[in-house]
């Protein structure tokens, strides 16, 4: 009996460095590739606030990715079958169709969070019930969990620095890239091709990219590899990443790799080895250190999810004691829609609403504002990000939210971002604020982050009436006004002594 491999694509939507795909084509006579637009992950509602799980921006990027993957597979003599159904239903039908003709193996990528692992359990049981084989592969991270210097996930450190130091001290290596066969095995007879769904199938119009968006690239492995090559080789942006990564404007100030990493159309190991190749050929040691540093953060949150499981989604996060959050929807909606009256927060929230993108600097600030200044349940913010972000990754998103909210792995749980100081530090001339809050366009730079402190004649000259054409602040933290006064004094003295980057205050009002 000939062998049939069924490759179930998940968050590994690429040909390069894909161990699941390589194994299937080296060990079977025929191979079927499937992808499921699982309604539980696309159109279902989030477990808080009832947002659609995958909104139009990420869905558009995903559809483009699947179209690209299908084209790549067709060029290899095969193709991709897509379904708007659950993997359990689709695989059951394929098994029933072919189990008396072939020896079947289902091959897929392992994941770590419960919704995904519950599906895996069902698929394993399906293979047992039908006496067929299953093959699972770990392709999510830069470092393979089997190579980590820990005996089991429970021994994994809760602090990022401990992981980074352990990897460096023990010389743990990133595994080599997986080579894909030059020729792919054919599809079996009896396969009926299926069309890739369109945005309109989900009730969305063909979205055009916002003119102010800093992320304008299409989804798909081909686009991701081209972007990687351009970023590192053609534009040499790797050299300036450390200095520009916190910028709020401009498409090239950060890598923008995350949308491809999130659905697996770009391998983290591919990025790593491309960086190492650049460093060797340019003879620039550690040129890409800070990019790899961020890739390791992505690994860290994956391994934290392995260690703690569903606690990643608890209101109290990883803490053992209860944590009391507010659940007031009125200030939450002001936050979500960018109408808090705090320009730096509003600009970031309007950007994500209009484009599906927000800088890492912005994400940390708006998360801190929601949880630390408003005291609102961090999960409300996390599910909004899950819905709207073009680069949503469940482990990174929820891991970062509990980190900022003080119920995760931050060793300084009382850390508080001073959003006014952050605004003055990272948008001192108000360029970013004016893009997304055009009603503030005529306000002088001195007041661009704190319009509530502007004198009446300044507001009038700027055509601004608080509470009418721009909201009054829904909260004012004393440190914000103090920050404004400190900045004014330092400017008047022509001697700005505050260090850029000291952006926190703590519950006991210590400054660190």
- For the annotated binding site, the residues are 241, 254-258, 294-301, 391-393
* Helix, strand, coil percentages in the chain from 3-state DSSP, rounded to 5: 50, 5, 45
Q: Which two tokens stand for residue 297?
A: 């953060």
Inter-CA distances, 238 with 233, 235, 247, 253, 285, Å: 9, 8, 15, 10, 12
Helix (H, G, I), strand (E, B) or coil at 303: helix
Q: How far apart are CA 374 and CA 145, in angstroms?
A: 38
* Contacts by 422-428, CB closer than 8 A, 24 or more apart: 422/344, 422/361, 422/365, 422/503, 423/343, 423/344, 423/448, 423/449, 424/449, 424/483, 424/487, 425/500, 425/501, 425/503, 426/246, 426/247, 426/248, 426/361, 427/248, 427/344, 427/347
The candidate with the shortest Cα–Cα distance to 390, out of 60, 50, 41, is 60
Helices assigned H by DSSP within 240-309: 241-244, 258-263, 268-282, 289-308
Q: In whole angstroms, how large is the CA radius of gyration of the chain?
A: 24
Cα 277 from chain centroid? 26
Beta-bridge partners for 83: 36
Residues in binding site for FAD: 241, 254-258, 294-301, 391-393
E strand or H helix that includes residue 33: strand 30-36
The candidate with the shortest Cα–Cα distance to 66, out of 265, 234, 226, 212, is 265
Q: How far apart are CA 275 and CA 238, in angstroms?
A: 8
Q: How far apart are CA 449 and CA 430, in angstroms?
A: 7
Q: How far apart are CA 204 and CA 87, in angstroms?
A: 24
The candidate with the shortest Cα–Cα distance to 180, out of 305, 52, 20, 37, is 20
Please state the length of the chain: 512
């Amino acid at each position: 009996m000939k062998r049939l491999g069924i490759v179930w694509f998940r968050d590994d939507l690429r040909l390069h460095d894909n161990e699941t795909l390589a194994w299937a084509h080296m060990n079977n006579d025929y191979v079927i590739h499937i992808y499921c637009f699982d309604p539980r992950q696309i159109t279902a509602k989030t477990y808080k606030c009832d947002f659609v799980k995958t909104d139009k921006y990420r869905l558009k990027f995903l559809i483009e990715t699947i179209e690209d993957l299908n084209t790549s597979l067709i060029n290899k003599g095969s193709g991709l079958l897509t379904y708007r159904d659950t993997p359990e239903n689709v695989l059951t039908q394929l098994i029933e169709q072919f189990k008396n003709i072939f020896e079947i193996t289902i091959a897929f990528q392992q994941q770590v969070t419960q919704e995904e692992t519950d599906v895996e359990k069902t698929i394993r049981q399906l293979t047992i019930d039908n006496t067929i084989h299953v093959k699972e592969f770990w392709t999510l991270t830069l470092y393979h969990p089997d190579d980590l210097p820990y005996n089991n996930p429970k021994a994994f450190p809760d602090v990022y620095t401990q992981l980074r130091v352990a990897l460096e001290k023990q010389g743990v290596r990133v595994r080599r890239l997986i080579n894909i066969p030059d020729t792919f095995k054919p599809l079996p007879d009896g396969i009926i091709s299926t069309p890739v769904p369109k945005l309109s199938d989900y009730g969305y119009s063909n979205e055009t990219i916002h003119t102010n968006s800093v992320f304008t690239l299409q989804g798909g492995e081909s686009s991701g590899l081209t972007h990687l090559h351009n970023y590192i080789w053609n534009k040499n942006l790797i050299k300036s990443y450390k200095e520009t990564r916190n910028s709020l404007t401009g498409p090239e100030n950060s890598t923008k790799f995350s949308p491809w990493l999130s659905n697996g159309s770009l391998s983290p190991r591919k990025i790593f080895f491309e960086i190492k190749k650049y460093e060797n050929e340019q003879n620039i040691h550690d040129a890409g250190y800070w990019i790899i540093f961020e890739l390791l953060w992505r690994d860290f949150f994956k391994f934290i999810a392995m260690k703690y499981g569903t606690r990643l989604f608890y209101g109290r996060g990883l803490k053992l004691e209860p944590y009391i959050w507010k659940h007031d929807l009125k200030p939450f909606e002001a936050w979500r829609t960018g109408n808090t009256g705090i320009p730096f927060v509003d600009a970031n929230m309007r950007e994500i609403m209009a484009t599906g993108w927000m800088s890492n600097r912005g994400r940390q600030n708006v998360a801190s504002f929601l949880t630390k200044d408003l005291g609102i349940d961090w999960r409300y913010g996390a599910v909004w990000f899950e819905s709207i972000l073009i680069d949503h990754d469940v482990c990174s998103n929820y891991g970062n939210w509990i980190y900022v909210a003080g119920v995760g792995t931050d060793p300084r749980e009382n850390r508080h971002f001073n959003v006014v100081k952050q605004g003055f530090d990272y948008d001192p001339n108000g360029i970013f604020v004016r893009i997304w809050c055009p009603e503030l366009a005529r306000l002088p730079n001195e007041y661009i982050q704190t319009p509530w402190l502007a004198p009446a004649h300044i507001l009038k000259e700027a055509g601004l009436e608080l509470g009418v054409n721009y909201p009054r602040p829904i909260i004012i933290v004393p440190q914000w006004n103090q920050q404004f006064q400190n900045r004014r004094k330092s400017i008047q003295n022509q001697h700005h002594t505050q260090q850029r980057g000291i952006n926190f205050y703590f519950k006991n009002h210590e400054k660190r």
